[in-house]
Amino acid sequence: MAKARDAKPDRKATKAGKALAKADKADKAAAKHAARHSLPTDRASLLALHRDLRHRRDTLPLLSEERAETVIEIARIEVQVARIERAMDPPLV
């Protein structure tokens, strides 16, 4: 009987392994998300990116998930442009 019991994997070790794999997967997803969503820091690059995303949005079908994601990205860029413009001396109005 001792052999049958030893043959089974340790549940705690299995759970720990799964938790590590899940954490690693989450870390990779977060890094991918940050890389994909990192924005330029200068206004000119942001405006060029904004223009390109608007053109992309206009080619996508209405009510599609891709279009919604593009609209969200456009909004993020607009917020970043506003931050840069407020930080200018004097601020752009």
Q: What confidence tens digit (pLDDT) does each residue in 42-62 have?
A: 999 999 999 999 999 999 999
Name the domain count of the chain. 1
Is 23 part of any domain? no
Is 30 part of any domain? no
Is 19 part of any domain? no
Is 59 part of any domain? yes
Is 65 part of any domain? yes
Is 11 part of any domain? no
Mean pLDDT (the chain, rounded): 81
pLDDT for the residue 65: 95
The answer to whether the pTM exceeds 0.75 is: no
Is 83 part of any domain? yes
pLDDT for the residue 89: 86
Q: Which domain holds residue 68?
A: 41-93
Is 87 part of any domain? yes
**Contact (CB, 8 A) for 84 and 78:** no
